[in-house]
Amino acid sequence: MRTVILGSGTGSNCKSLLESQASNNLGSAKIVAIFSDIEDSGILEVGRHFGIKSVYLGPYNISPDTHGESDHEWISAVDQEKPDLIVLAGFMRILSSYFINFFGSRIINLHPSLLPSFKGLNAINQAWEEGVKITGCTVHWVSRHLDMGKIIDQRAVRISSEDSLDSLIRKVHIAEHFLLPTVVENIAKGTHTFPYCD
């Protein structure tokens, strides 16, 4: 299952996928390329460290409903990798509807909340400010509506009275590092995991 990762950030989730692949825990999934819209992003360094093709494709500055030149370049670069799966691992741009239609139901996104709660940016802060006692992370198929595609799997995180926003951020990231490789492995196997709560 040829897998392409798109990301803009530190790349800790990309790293967890590459470590899983190195330990033969991603099934038939094979990460073939990593693309970023941020030239000095950690995710590109992570990819290069693991010897994976890791490329800065330039800014992704297009409105979700248009099909601009930067979108065309992105579609072409991703398509050349012949991906069976595209993983958004901290990709901080909204993909155009043209991109989503082009690749169809092959795109998944990792989101740091239990969707449908706390969509959009700063989801962990949103959960913290709301005072919920359980939050977590979600992997879902990408649709044209932000953070609203069909949920594939989730992992819950309990917020205790001893937590701070910083400790919650750490806990959600740890949960993400378990969830994303599990989902990719299960997509490769053609199965899905059951919801998990700790």
Q: Which is nearer to ligand GRF, 27 or 42 (CB)?
A: 42
Report, in Å, the least distance between residue 186 CB and ligand GRF: 18
Query: Which ranges in 34-80 belong to alpha helices (H)?
Result: 42-49, 69-79
Q: Which is nearer to ligand GRF, 6 or 187 (CB)?
A: 6
Positions in the binding site for ligand GRF (CB under 6 A): 7, 9-14, 43, 89-90, 110-112, 176
Q: Which position among 72, 111, 140, 192 bears the catalytic label?
A: 111
Q: Which is nearer to ligand GRF, 111 or 155 (CB)?
A: 111
The residue with its CB nearest to ligand GRF is 90
Report, in Å, the least distance between residue 189 CB and ligand GRF: 23
Calculated CA dihedral for residues 36, 91, 177, 160, nearest 10 degrees: 140
Angle between helix 165-189 and 123-130 (nearest 10): 130
Radius of gyration of the chain, Cα coordinates, nearest whole angstrom: 16
Spatial separation of the C-alpha atoms in residues 116 and 102, rounded to whole Å = 25
101's tokens: 């239609």
Q: 110 and 40 in contact (C-beta within 8 Å)?
A: no
Active site residue 111: yes
Phi, psi torsion values for 70, nearest 5 degrees:
-65, -30
197's tokens: 């709560």
Q: Which is nearer to ligand GRF, 7 or 47 (CB)?
A: 7
Report, in Å, the least distance between residue 129 CB and ligand GRF: 17
Report, in Å, the least distance between residue 89 CB and ligand GRF: 5
Active-site residues: which are they? 111
